[in-house]
Amino acid sequence: MRQPLVAGNWKMNGSRASVGELLVGLKAGIGQVTTAEVAVCAPAVFIPAVQAELDGSPIKWGGQDVSVHASGAYTGETAASMLSDFGCHYVIIGHSERRAYHGETDQVVAEKFAAARAAGLVPILCVGETLDEREQGITEDVVGRQLDAVVAHCGIDTVGSGVIAYEPVWAIGTGKTASPQQAQDVHAFIRGRLAAADPAVADGIRVLYGGSMNPKNAAELIAQPDIDGGLIGGASLKADDFLAVCSAANR
C-alpha cells in the first residue's frame, strides 16, 4: 500500500510574513486532517525559516530545484548538500517551468536527479506533455522519453527511491485539470513503463498528479488507482486550501 503524498510547490511566491502565516496555519491544521505524507517545497531563501517552523512537526520540506554540481564556482546555484543541510527531505526535479524557461534537457534533469539522491534527498521528478504534444497524440512518447532518460542515467533502483509527478503542462496554473481518467491513463502508462525495468519498483513508487489540483477536484483524482497524491502549486499558498487537498488524500 503506497502512502499518499501531498507536496506543495510554492514556486516564486511569498514573503517572510506570508510564509510565516502559511506555516503557522499548516502546523495548526495538519494533525487533524490527513494520514497522507505532507511536504512543502519552498524558494531556497525561505528554507531556513521553513525548517525553524516545521522542525518537529509532521510536515516535511524541500527545495524546488538543485544544481547538477556538488559545489564550486556556479553563481546562483544551490547544491543538494545545502538543501540537506537545512533539513530538506524532498526536491522537485525537472518541473516544466525549469524545462521551458531554463532550458533543462532530459539529460540535465537526469543529472539533477542523481545529484539529489547522492545528497540523500528524495527527488520528485516531474514529467508531462504540452498541449501541442497531447493534441499530436504523442503524450506517451514524451513522458516515456522523460522517464527513460532518468532510468538510463541513474538506474531503476535509484529512480525507485524517488517520486514521480505527472504534470500535464497545459494543466499547470491554467485552471484546466486533466480529467481523472486522462490522468489515470498516463499514471498507468508511467507505472507500466517502470514495470518493464522492474515490477517491484513500479508497484512501490508514488506517482503524483499535478496541474490545477484544488480542494474541489482532489478527491476524485486521488481516488484513481495509480494516483498517489498531488503536487500542488496555486492551492498550496493558502493553508485552508492546501489542508483541504491533504484531507482529500486520506486513505
Catalytic residues: 95, 167
- Distance, in Å, from the CA atom of 132 to the CA atom of 112, rounded to the nearest integer, reads 26
**Contact range with ligand PEP by CB under 6 A, out of 13-21, 50-58, 83-91, 233-241:** 233-241
- Distance, in Å, from the CA atom of 18 to the CA atom of 100, rounded to the nearest integer, reads 28
Instruction: Provide the grid cell at 92.
Output: 522537485
**Contact range with ligand PEP by CB under 6 A, out of 16-24, 25-33, 105-113, 226-234:** 226-234
For residue 177, what is the DSSP state?
P
Instruction: Provide the grid cell at 157.
Output: 533502483
Partners of 40 in the β-ladder: 8, 61
Q: Does 123 bind ligand PEP (CB under 6 A)?
A: no
Write each residue from 72 to 91 as x if it is in contact with ligand PEP (CB under 6 A), else as -, in one continuous string: --------------------
Under 8 Å between Cβ of 4 and 251: yes
Instruction: Provide the grid cell at 175.
Output: 485552471
Q: Does 8 bind ligand PEP (CB under 6 A)?
A: no
| Smallest distance, ligand PEP to C-beta of residue 173, A | 4
Instruction: Provide the grid cell at 162.
Output: 524517488
| Smallest distance, ligand PEP to C-beta of residue 231, A | 5
**Which residue has its beta carbon closest to ligand PEP?**
233
Chain residues binding ligand PEP by CB under 6 A are: 9, 11, 167, 172-173, 210-213, 231-235
